[in-house]
């Protein structure tokens, strides 16, 4: 496989960064993961907006735009002879002296990783409530950054079974998110999802689904919820940019509607219609009005 590193397309075995890169030394780096559908990067504008906001928080002097990212993606897709892929767009702070830096980082390292999508995707998930608690964001909000030990500890609890996902509670005992997903559940026709106040990452697919609720006039609430409120749901589903919308069939010994859940089925139908076309969730209402 080929990857992009600061202007060059190189074989992944040849990709290099400096040992003095502060993304490596101090975790000062942010990334986005997304999929392409027949070459189209779904919701790329939303991913870039979040990434650019994260770079401001990290004092990394870089703004990435759609056109330049698309140019890189086209080169990589051609080099790898693929159209439907998993993409990680990564920005690392760049080289600095040993010690914490307060000045802006003016020479960041941009890396774009690409790999084929898994050949077997799980159509439903079984979830476990993790013993590991979701740690608090190191700043005002959770960034999709190089700080991933909390997620790794959660993953170690459940192992490598692709059918499993772990669900974090935070230190106050509120349902927060999955290891690599956001969580939603439906009770009496209303959809619930944890507020960002819990410390959850504001996932791009999460944002898309919330926009889809508005466009489709589906009632939803964001808030602080205890475990029993999740456990007594009628249907549960997870979201992330690679696995899309994934129904949950069981949490410990409690069973749910899984892929037969009516809200989950409806959302998946619209997701599939839009995945190869949309640049941002803000196009949703216009597209729905045009097509239906």
Question: Could you give the residue range(s) of every CATH 3.20.10.10 domain in the chain?
Answer: 125-291
Residue labelled with tokens 């504008």: 45
**Rounded (to 5) percent helix, strand, coil in the chain:** 30, 30, 40
DSSP annotation of 259: G
Which CATH number applies to 2-116: 3.20.20.70, 3.30.310.50, 3.30.470.10, 3.40.50.300?
3.30.470.10
Sort residue 240 into left (φ over 0), alpha (ψ -120 to 50) or beta: beta
Alpha carbon separation from 61 to 64, 68, 80 (Å, rounded): 10, 16, 30
Which part of the chain has CATH 3.30.470.10? 2-116
Instruction: Tell me if the domain spanning 125-291 has CATH number 3.30.365.10.
Output: no
Q: Specify the pLDDT at position 289.
A: 58
Q: What is the SS3 assignment for 61?
A: coil
Residue of 75, 213, 46 whose CA lies nearest to 144: 46
Mean per-residue pLDDT of the chain: 95
CB 183 within 8 A of CB 245: no
Look at residue 120 in the predicted model and tell me its pLDDT.
62
* pLDDT tens digits in sequence order for the chain, 292 residues long: 999 999 999 999 999 999 999 999 999 999 999 999 999 999 999 999 999 999 999 999 999 999 999 999 999 999 999 999 999 999 999 999 999 999 999 999 999 999 999 766 678 999 999 999 999 998 999 999 999 999 999 999 999 999 999 999 999 999 999 999 999 999 999 999 999 999 999 999 999 999 999 999 999 999 999 999 999 999 999 999 999 999 999 999 999 999 999 999 999 999 999 999 999 999 987 777 555 4
pTM of the model: 0.96
């Amino acid at each position: 496989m080929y990857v992009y590193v600061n202007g060059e397309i190189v074989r992944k075995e040849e990709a290099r960064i400096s040992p003095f890169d502060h993304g490596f030394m101090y975790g000062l780096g942010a990334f986005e993961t997304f999929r392409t559908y027949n070459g189209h990067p779904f919701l790329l504008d939303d991913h870039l907006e979040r990434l650019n906001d994260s770079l401001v928080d990290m004092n990394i002097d870089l703004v990435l735009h759609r056109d330049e990212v698309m140019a890189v993606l086209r080169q990589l897709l051609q080099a790898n002879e693929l159209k439907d892929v998993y993409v990680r767009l990564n920005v690392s702070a760049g080289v600095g002296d040993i010690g914490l830096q307060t000045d802006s980082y003016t020479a960041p390292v941009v890396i774009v990783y690409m790999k084929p999508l898994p050949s077997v995707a799980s159509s439903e998930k079984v979830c476990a409530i993790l013993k590991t608690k979701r740690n608090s964001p190191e700043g005002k909000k959770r960034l999709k950054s190089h700080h991933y030990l909390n997620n790794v500890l959660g993953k170690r609890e459940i192992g490598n079974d692709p059918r499993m996902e772990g669900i974090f509670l935070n230190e106050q005992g509120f349902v927060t998110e999955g290891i690599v997903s956001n969580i939603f559940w439906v009770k009496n026709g209303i959809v619930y999802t944890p507020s960002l106040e819990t410390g959850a990452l504001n996932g791009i697919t999460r944002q898309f689904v919330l926009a889809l609720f508005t466009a489709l006039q589906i009632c939803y609430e964001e808030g602080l919820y205890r475990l029993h409120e999740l456990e007594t749901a009628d249907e549960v589903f997870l979201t992330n940019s690679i696995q899309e919308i994934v129904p949950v069939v069981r949490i410990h010994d409690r069973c749910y509607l899984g892929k037969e859940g009516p809200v989950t089925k409806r959302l998946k139908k619209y997701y599939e219609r839009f995945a190869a076309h949309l640049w941002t969730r803000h196009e949703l209402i216009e597209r729905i009005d045009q097509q239906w």
